[in-house]
Amino acid sequence: MNPPTELPARVRRFTRSETWVHRSMAALLGLCILTAACLYVPQFAELVGRRELVVRLHEWSGLLLPAPYLAGLASRAFRADLRRLNRFVPHDRTWLRSALRRSGPRPAGKFNAGQKLYAGWLAGAVLVMLGTGLLMWFTHLAPLTWRTGSTFVHDWLSLALGIVVAGHIAKAWADPEARLGMRTGFVGREWAEREHGEWLP
């Protein structure tokens, strides 16, 4: 009789390409948000100065924001995770009901329903910010009324984006194991079974 195989204490959650995509997008998005704050909050603008440089950093970091995502499409693991993020399954509805009631089981696959909603919202917000930003940058692309509307949407969505990203960071800060998984690619099996039990074989 063969002895039982001992399961490893740690399991791979992300590949190097996936952690690179996350870090690159986080850096570019962080730069977008910081430069936006310097452009719109007078106290930050006075502290930093050099408005022209801040404007250029904001424009180019926003324009480059989709680049890590597009590069990540070369990774099979990244594409597989995109499919997971884009698909809601029955246990996601259970997770959302429990999250709203603040009680009950929260079954999750590799990504829980909250992470899927965040990823979808962020992808849509980035596309809208990119489109409205281009209309503001290249003023000859559209009539004045379009540019005015773009400025309104860009400004208010940037505020919403900053708040949502701050919430994402707060959630990550409260879960050291999740941060470790994004930093190293590996998480503890006990944590994975507790938080993402539907994912492990």
- In angstroms, rounded to a whole number, what is the distance separating the alpha carbons of residues 125 and 152? 14
pLDDT tens for each residue of 54-76: 889 999 999 999 999 999 999 99
pLDDT of residue 78: 96
Would you say 150 and 142 are in contact if contact means Cβ atoms under 8 Å apart? yes
Torsion region of 67: left, alpha or beta (phi above 0 gives left; psi -120 to 50 gives alpha):
alpha
d(CA 46, CA 80): 45
Rounded CA-CA distance 81/42 in Å is: 41
pLDDT tens-digit map of 3-46: 555 556 889 999 999 999 999 999 999 999 999 988 888 777 77
Q: What is the pTM of this model?
A: 0.86
For 4, the token pair is 């039982």
Res 4: pLDDT:
52
Name the helix (H) or strand (E) containing 117.
Answer: helix 113-137
What is the spatial distance between Cα 40 and Cα 92, in angstroms, rounded to a whole number?
38
87 token code pair = 């698909």
Alpha-carbon distance of 35 to 49, in angstroms, equals: 11
Task: Single out the residue of 83, 111, 91 nearest to residue 196, CA to CA.
Answer: 111
